[in-house]
Amino acid sequence: MNIGKVVKKIVSTVKNHAFDGYPLLLVQQLNIDFSPKGGEVLCIDFMGADMGEIVLMMKEGSSVQQMLGNKDAPADAAVVGIVDEVSYKDKIVFKKY
């Protein structure tokens, strides 16, 4: 599980039927200090995340396929949580509001 920031919403009029009803997002992976880590990841959004939100991202294809209820779904990453607060070494390093 990683943290990331939603950087783009993907709009698609045609997509794999396994994704019907789920938005697609590009999420920039982050280090604990919120600096970018690696590239952006295409994620299925199970939580209703919005632009700029810090999210929990799962990058395990078989787990994402289980969440979709389709073992043949071409999916390997999903947004599974929206972060409200992050503490590191007893210090709050991020707070949503």
User: Which domain CATH number covers 20?
Assistant: 2.40.50.220
pLDDT of the residue at 81: 97
**57 C-beta neighbours (distance < 10 Å), count:** 23
Model confidence pLDDT, tens digit, residues 12-63: 888 888 888 899 999 999 998 899 999 999 999 999 999 999 999 999 878 9
The Cα 48–Cα 11 span in angstroms is: 14
Residues of the domain holding 37: 2-95
pLDDT of the residue at 9: 96
**Residue 86 bridge partners (DSSP):** 94
Find the mean pLDDT for residues 61-68. 88
Question: What is the tally of structural domains in the chain?
Answer: 1
pLDDT of the residue at 6: 98
